[in-house]
């Protein structure tokens, strides 16, 4: 069995295997995050199967958490879905930037790439390129495969053993994933020109969250759009 698995793994594109390997530290953080989500889902009456299926079909950690939190606050199913979709709009911007990676590929590969694109493997792909290493479509998919498998398993386990697991947020373990992601983001820094778009994005997001009667997730979307727009003007100006 192990020999067959090794042969199957080695038959995959080399970039896929590197993506699978390089994402491992973040996958471990996703596991903790997934357990925390499983606990939250179980507290709202979701069983192991439903939680695992949600992870496989939606595969959007922060959006899933926001949606379930809205349900917990009795906001209703429609508002929960809208909040999750709003937070996930950033994926549209991210996949739009993958035009060169997706162009000319079969439809199933395009759909697979889009579904497996997340903050973590998208940032890792660009960070790897910034180091002068090759990282394209299969690198992205390799990282995404690791993340989605870990996410499904950890969320299902969190729901299954909700009664025996401690509240991970009390120990701060749920922040481990966020800390690792912030560290990864630093590799995308390209000098002083990188600061203005980030500052604009942060200020707009914070202003929306504090001053407008909107769900905080909308502030993230508006901030991201503002930062991207400023970066575009900066690049072409």
Question: Residue 162: pLDDT above 70?
Answer: yes
**Residue 184 and residue 204 in one domain:** no
- Asked, for residue 4, whether it belongs to a domain, the answer is no
What are the residues whose beta carbons fall under 8 Å from the beta carbon of 235, sequence distance 6 or more?
A: none
**Residue 170 and residue 232 in one domain:** no
Considering only 45-54, 97-106, 113-122, 161-170, which range has the smallest mean pLDDT? 161-170
Comparing 141 with 69, the larger pLDDT belongs to 141
CA atoms within 13 A on the CB side of 197: 17
Of 188, 209, 228, the residue at which a domain comes to its end is: 188
pLDDT score recorded for residue 141: 96
pLDDT digits (tens, 9 = 90+) for 192-235: 777 888 888 889 888 988 888 776 667 777 887 788 788 778 76
CB atoms within 10 A of CB 112: 18
Question: Residue 107: pLDDT above 90?
Answer: yes
**Residue 119 and residue 208 in one domain:** no
Q: How far apart are the first and last CA of the chain?
A: 58
Domain count, the chain: 2
Q: Which domain holds residue 105?
A: 14-188
Comparing 108 with 90, the larger pLDDT belongs to 108
Q: Measured between alpha carbons, how far is 102 from 116 in angstroms, rounded to an integer?
A: 13
pLDDT score recorded for residue 173: 55
Share of the chain above pLDDT 90, in %: 29
- Asked, for residue 6, whether it belongs to a domain, the answer is no
**Residue 129 and residue 227 in one domain:** no
pLDDT digits (tens, 9 = 90+) for 113-157: 999 999 889 989 988 998 889 899 999 999 999 999 999 999 999
**Residue 217 and residue 168 in one domain:** no
- Asked, for residue 214, whether it belongs to a domain, the answer is yes
Considering only 24-28, 70-74, 198-202, 213-217, which range has the smallest mean pLDDT? 213-217
Strands (E), 53-202: none
**Residue 32 and residue 148 in one domain:** yes
- Asked, for residue 5, whether it belongs to a domain, the answer is no
**Residue 65 and residue 141 in one domain:** yes
Taking the model in full, what pTM does it have? 0.75
| Nearest residue to 138 via CA among 13, 23, 25 | 13
**Residue 178 and residue 197 in one domain:** no
Of 148, 172, 188, the residue at which a domain comes to its end is: 188
CA atoms within 13 A on the CB side of 103: 5
pLDDT score recorded for residue 181: 58
- Asked, for residue 26, whether it belongs to a domain, the answer is yes
The pairs formed by 221-226 with CB atoms below 8 angstroms and a separation of 24 or more are: 221/86, 221/87, 221/89, 221/90, 224/90, 224/93, 225/93, 226/200, 226/201
Average confidence (pLDDT) over 26-40:
86
Considering only 42-51, 56-65, 87-96, 134-143, which range has the smallest mean pLDDT? 87-96
**Residue 208 and residue 174 in one domain:** no
**Dihedral of alpha carbons 175, 96, 186, 128, sign:** positive
CA distances from 114 to 42, 181, 213, 232 (A): 28, 20, 32, 23
Question: Residue 79: pLDDT above 60?
Answer: yes
- Asked, for residue 2, whether it belongs to a domain, the answer is no
* SS3 state at 76: coil
What are the residues whose beta carbons fall under 8 Å from the beta carbon of 144, sequence distance 6 or more?
A: 19, 113, 115, 116, 117, 118, 121
**Residue 162 and residue 178 in one domain:** yes
pLDDT score recorded for residue 215: 66
- Asked, for residue 167, whether it belongs to a domain, the answer is yes
Average confidence (pLDDT) over 33-57:
88
**Residue 101 and residue 25 in one domain:** yes
pLDDT score recorded for residue 33: 83
Q: Measured between alpha carbons, how far is 32 from 176 in angstroms, rounded to an integer?
A: 8
Average confidence (pLDDT) over 172-198:
67
- Asked, for residue 82, whether it belongs to a domain, the answer is yes
**Residue 179 and residue 204 in one domain:** no
Q: Measured between alpha carbons, how far is 96 from 117 in angstroms, rounded to an integer?
A: 11
């Amino acid at each position: 069995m192990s020999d067959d698995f090794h042969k199957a793994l080695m038959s995959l594109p080399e970039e896929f295997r590197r993506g699978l390997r390089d994402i491992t530290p973040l996958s471990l953080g996703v596991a903790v995050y997934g357990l925390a989500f499983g606990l939250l889902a179980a507290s709202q009456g979701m069983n192991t199967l439903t939680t695992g299926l949600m992870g496989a079909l939606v595969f959007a950690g922060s959006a899933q958490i926001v949606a379930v939190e809205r349900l917990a606050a009795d906001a209703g199913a429609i508002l929960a879905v809208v909040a999750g979709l709003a937070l996930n709009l950033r994926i549209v911007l991210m996949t739009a930037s993958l035009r060169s990676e997706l162009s000319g590929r079969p439809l199933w590969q395009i759909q697979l790439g889009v579904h497996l694109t997340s903050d973590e493997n998208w940032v890792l792909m660009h960070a790897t390129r910034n180091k002068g290493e090759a990282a394209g479509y299969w690198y992205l998919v390799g990282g995404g495969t690791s993340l989605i498998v870990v996410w499904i398993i950890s969320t299902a386990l969190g729901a299954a053993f909700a009664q025996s697991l401690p509240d991970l947020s009390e120990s701060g373990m749920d922040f481990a994933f966020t800390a690792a992601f912030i560290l990864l983001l630093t590799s995308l820094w390209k000098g002083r020109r990188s600061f203005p778009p980030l500052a604009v994005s942060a200020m707009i997001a914070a202003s929306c969250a504090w001053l407008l009667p909107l769900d905080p997730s909308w502030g993230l979307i508006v901030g991201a759009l503002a930062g991207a727009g400023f970066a575009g003007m900066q690049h072409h100006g």
